[in-house]
A and B are shown apart, each in its own frame.
Chain A
């Protein structure tokens, strides 16, 4: 507990500093119930979502910023707009960047319009990786703290008109010391396509896809958690080369 307090105090101080200076937040091991049923093991029947164990891991406190991504491109020119292979990035990759630099004044905003491949390459360059969907959702669930606020912040973000400049990172940390999971950008996960990979989101022929089924919300942990549906639907709509104006990422590491 003292440790957590220390982390929270430290991170609120650090929020004033450039995000790149900060170590990842340690997220302790625990049990977590996925939003919806994953593919059942052979011979098992698909039933209600069951808790799964999450190993301790580390997670970036903030989404990766434009400044951090620009520094990466210095070292990895192969990933610049124009140089990155079309197989790995769609034509809108870094579409608002000019001459290898992000839009003026947006150094501390999350980098967006990056593909899964580019995000993964960034994390690998730092000896890290993308978080799994379970890890990301487990960090957001924050051991049950402040979930009403997560829902409210999500709905407020959905209502915010699009096209405006994305805000800078530096929001209030949750109980694990992780900030800005909601309200700035969507985030890539390592296995974004592992769940609901079918494009038909209401396919009732398979219970596993039922999370996306308008008629069959029965298999989900909480059918009243609309923001969770949105996160999984967004992930399901993506392919690894896709980029999006409001899709960024953060890195994770093993503890």
Chain B
């Protein structure tokens, strides 16, 4: 088995070496046979692999549309798009192809637009031939001489604003011999957005020039909106399948530390180059205006989380997506939690004997309970449910004005102390995640729940340590007792 893998690796390395040898000149000279219309897809979908053995003329029609759409829950934005969505249509051609590009600027649009494809050698990457007024169409062609995964974008002044509004996409110039087989292929592209209102401010948000120039985005998202690939919209794969992600960074400003939580990339074609994939990568750096291809085999069931590992972008600005890996467990690869033990550092007992036991403060009344609950919340809950209890759409349910909190106290205490996972509807929105069991003292649980009940439009009331003691889910301490 190991030998077989090694052979396969060697074979693919040899093939890529051959690809390198196929020079730009040879690709320029390769005869163009026939003509076809490009299959274009919206993210996260990717057009089928090319099986042709010859170069052909590929006709690409990209329609530029300025459209209002969802940036986050309750937040609308006027996106400028190649094809109606952000990111733009995925274009897939073969090394040696002659690409005839039609840029159609919809008559409803306000702006002139053009296109710069990083796969083009020529003035402006095509921008020099494609400045197009609304209601008009420009045509130019180029020979795909260099294999790779390339970003394309609008390059009309002010370039940064056209790109900030979503005008980017990917074009794959597939090597002649093709890429190694993948069972599933996905298209994910990151972009930063700058809105007049702060993150979460509702309504149609115009572009903020000041924040863009200061490079301080309100949103950093995958595929054009917060939560574009979470919950029911998560991308999927089965255990045993090889998955490939074509990842691009449109910018305009931020680079991406692309990482998948819970999954090692078996292979990465860094910067979209086709000759030298690297193995066993945790996080791959993708420049603004750059791309990478990441391959990995799903080995265990899990919800994998795609992030920009510059983590406040993932947690607070939207750069988070999910991939559901479905199939049988492999306890050897990953066991799951097998033990939950009390940890006693060496010498801990001596220290306890020396020092008076620290007495945790106890709330004397409801007001104190709320006050003390605030710090319990900040330390344990705010990271997911957010400091103001609004939660994160599609990932973490809101605690503010939450209909879930209308359940009786006992159930809420059980939820916090016993954890919760699986499908859940809160305030009409579906969630499908995991909250761990919180092994906190009765006092802390009572305080934090009282804090939550008395904030953010919830119904008020008080939870006492006695309530918690009566209803809490017992933590299995059998292992600890042994």
Contact = CB atoms under 8 A, between A and B. Distances in A.
Nearest to A162: B108
Contact of B159 (A90, A151, A214): A214
B133 A242 contact: yes
Contacts of B335: none
A177 B205 CA distance: 30
Interface string A142-159: 000000000100011111
Contacts of A202: 124, 127, 155, 157, 159
Contact of A245 (B78, B131, B135, B161): B135
Interface in B120-158: 123-124, 127-136, 155-158
Interface in A225-248: 226, 229-230, 232-234, 236-239, 242-246
A232 B78 contact: no
Interface-central residue, B77, B110, B157, B205, by most chain A CB under 10 Å: B157
B112 interface: yes
Nearest to A220: B157
Nearest to B134: A244
Contacts of A163: 108
Contacts of A214: 155, 157, 159-160
A78 interface: no
A202 B128 CA distance: 8
Interface in B61-103: 66-68, 77-78
Contacts of A237: 112, 131-133, 136, 156
A203 interface: yes
B114 interface: yes
Contacts of B123: 200, 203
Contacts of A236: 112, 131
A201 interface: yes
B209 A234 contact: no
A186 B110 CA distance: 8
B129 A199 contact: yes
A246 B135 CA distance: 11
B158 A242 contact: no
Interface in A152-208: 155-163, 186, 199-203
A244 B207 contact: no
B375 interface: no
Nearest to B212: A226
A237 B111 CA distance: 9
A90 B136 CA distance: 10
Given A199-B129, A200-B124, A243-B135, A229 B158 contact: yes
A159 B107 contact: no
Interface residues of B, number: 39
Contact of B128 (A158, A200, A226): A200
A113 to B, nearest CB: 9
Given A162-B109, A237-B131, A244-B107, A156 B206 contact: yes
B20 interface: no
A245 B207 contact: no
B466 interface: no
Contacts of A155: 196, 206-209
B114 A161 contact: no
A13 interface: no
Contacts of B159: 202, 214
B156 A159 contact: no
A162 B110 CA distance: 7
A242 B136 contact: yes
A51 to B, nearest CB: 22
Contacts of B136: 237, 242
B78 A224 contact: no
Contact of A159 (B77, B109, B127, B130): B77
B180 to A, nearest CB: 36
A151 B107 CA distance: 24
A98 B107 CA distance: 18
A12 interface: no
A158 B206 contact: yes
B114 A201 contact: yes
Interface in A76-133: 90, 92
Contacts of B110: 157-158, 162, 186, 246
B204 interface: yes
A70 interface: no
Nearest to B123: A200
Contact of A203 (B114, B128, B132, B135): B128
Given A155-B207, A158-B110, A242-B136, A201 B127 contact: yes
Given A159-B205, A160-B78, A236-B112, A199 B157 contact: no
Contacts of B127: 200-202
B179 interface: no
A176 B83 CA distance: 42
Contacts of A92: 107, 135
A213 B128 CA distance: 11
B128 A242 contact: no
A232 B156 CA distance: 10
B133 A229 contact: no
Interface-central residue, B68, B109, B123, B158, by most chain A CB under 10 Å: B158
Contact of A201 (B111, B131, B205): B131
A224 B132 contact: no
Contacts of A229: 157-158, 161
Contacts of A243: 135
A212 B127 CA distance: 11
Interface in B149-202: 155-161, 196
B157 A234 contact: no
Given A155-B207, A237-B112, A245-B134, 8 more contacts: A158-B110, A161-B68, A186-B110, A199-B128, A200-B127, A202-B155, A214-B155, A234-B112
6 contacts: A158-B111, A200-B131, A202-B157, A202-B159, A233-B112, A246-B134
Instruction: Name the 9 nearest CB pairs between A and B, nearest first.
Output: A237-B112, A200-B128, A159-B206, A214-B159, A229-B158, A237-B133, A161-B68, A229-B157, A162-B108
